[in-house]
């Protein structure tokens, strides 16, 4: 019996020794980063699809020209390329608001469709983008009301039909443009136009904004001036009104007395050139 117990004891000791010999060979599972395990995940199989090609403008397709819309109601100038709005700028307008018709000296911004007829740099208001005012509608009204003569009317219409800037020195007025505030004001990008109605009929912006617009437009760029007609008045006292009427009658009489084609003061300017018109009306700030 003692021999049997001794045998079992030897077997137990041998088994324990065997387990102890295997223990160093059992190691803890390795610890890896999340990236390691993510890399082991095979990507799903996706059926191929046809590529989506975005429409592009061909190099042979010219870019659409820019156009300007001025709202005299909201005092904002918006510049578009086609139907895409590029920028919006605050503006000031004429001292007496806006109207679809005007005469020289009434400080009104003309509502209607025009073009940029010339661009001058280095003026007292920075870049000056002159408009092709008066247009045919202005001329028809002026003729009907007896403000301009038939010759003046024809000179305006002929210039517009020829793609030129109409005469700027008729009683309907001229030198209406888009411009900055001048060197006495800041050129800083954060500067703003002096708000409200204070020009002699032009559309005014800050110096910086005027420079941005001048860099985008060209001679012939479309300019649409829209808005409600409010506060339109001649701003002339009775004595000035009488003097103005007498002046118109004298101008009409003298002009009609001239032989045909001798009125060299009625001249138009081709869109293809930057003319040197009379200096913009110096009565900008009131």
The pLDDT score that the predictor gives to residue 184 is 85
Residues of the chain with pLDDT under 70: 1-62, 229-252, 254-286
Question: Is position 179 annotated as part of the catalytic site?
Answer: yes
Can you give the residue range of the structural domain that contains 87? 66-270
Structural domain contains residue 205: yes
Structural domain contains residue 276: no
Structural domain contains residue 14: no
Which pLDDT tens digit goes with each residue over 183-222?
Answer: 888 899 999 998 899 999 999 999 999 999 999 999 999 9
Task: Give a three-class secondary structure readout of the chain.
Answer: CHHHHHHHHHHHHHHHHHHHHHHHHCCCCCCCCHHHHHHCCCCCCCCCCCCCCCCCCCCCCCCCCEEEEEECCCCEEEEEECCEEEEEEECEEECCCEECCCCCCCCCEECEEEEEEEEEEEEECEEEEEECCCCHHHHHHHHHCCCCCHHHHHHHHHHHHCCEECCCCCCCCCCCEEECCCCCCCCCCCCCCCCCEEECCCEECCHHHHHHHHHHCCCCCEEEEECCCCCCCCCCCHHHHHHHHHHHHHHHHHHHHCCCCCCCCCCCEECCCCCCCCCCCCCCCC
Which pLDDT tens digit goes with each residue over 152-188?
Answer: 999 999 999 999 999 999 999 999 999 999 888 889 9
Structural domain contains residue 130: yes
CATH code where residue 93 lies: 2.40.440.10
Structural domain contains residue 170: yes
Q: How many domains are there within the chain?
A: 1
The pLDDT score that the predictor gives to residue 64 is 87
The pLDDT score that the predictor gives to residue 239 is 45
Catalytic residue among 113, 179, 267, 286: 179
Catalytic residue among 32, 42, 202, 261: 202
Structural domain contains residue 195: yes
Structural domain contains residue 153: yes
The pLDDT score that the predictor gives to residue 180 is 96
Question: Is position 22 annotated as part of the catalytic site?
Answer: no
Share the mean pLDDT of the chain. Answer: 74
Structural domain contains residue 10: no
């Amino acid at each position: 019996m003692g021999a049997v117990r001794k045998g079992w004891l030897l077997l137990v000791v041998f088994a324990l020794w065997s387990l102890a010999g295997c223990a160093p060979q059992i190691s803890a599972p390795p610890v890896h980063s999340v990236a390691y395990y993510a890399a082991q995940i095979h990507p799903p199989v996706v059926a191929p699809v046809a590529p989506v090609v975005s429409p592009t403008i061909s190099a042979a397709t010219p870019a659409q020209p820019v156009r300007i819309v001025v709202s005299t109601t909201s005092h904002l100038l918006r510049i578009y390329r086609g139907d895409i709005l590029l920028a919006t700028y605050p503006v000031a307008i004429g001292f007496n608001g806006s109207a679809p018709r005007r005469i020289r000296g009434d400080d009104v911004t003309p509502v209607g469709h025009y073009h940029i007829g010339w661009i001058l740099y280095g003026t007292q208001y920075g870049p000056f983008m002159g408009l092709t005012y008066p247009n045919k509608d202005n001329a028809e009204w002026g003729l009907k009301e007896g403000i301009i003569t038939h010759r003046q009317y024809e000179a305006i219409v002929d210039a517009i039909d020829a793609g030129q800037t109409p005469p700027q020195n008729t009683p309907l007025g001229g030198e209406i443009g888009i411009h900055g505030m001048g060197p006495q004001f800041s050129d800083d990008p954060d500067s703003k136009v002096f708000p409200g109605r204070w020009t002699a009929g032009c559309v005014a912006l800050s110096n910086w904004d005027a420079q941005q617009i001048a860099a985008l437009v060209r001679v012939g760029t479309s300019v649409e001036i829209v808005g409600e007609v409010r506060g339109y008045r001649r701003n002339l006292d009775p004595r000035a009104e009488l003097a103005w009427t007498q002046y118109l009658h004298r101008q009409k009489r003298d002009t009609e007395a001239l032989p045909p084609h001798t009125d060299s003061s009625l001249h138009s300017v081709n869109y293809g050139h930057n003319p040197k018109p009379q200096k913009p009306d110096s009565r900008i700030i009131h």
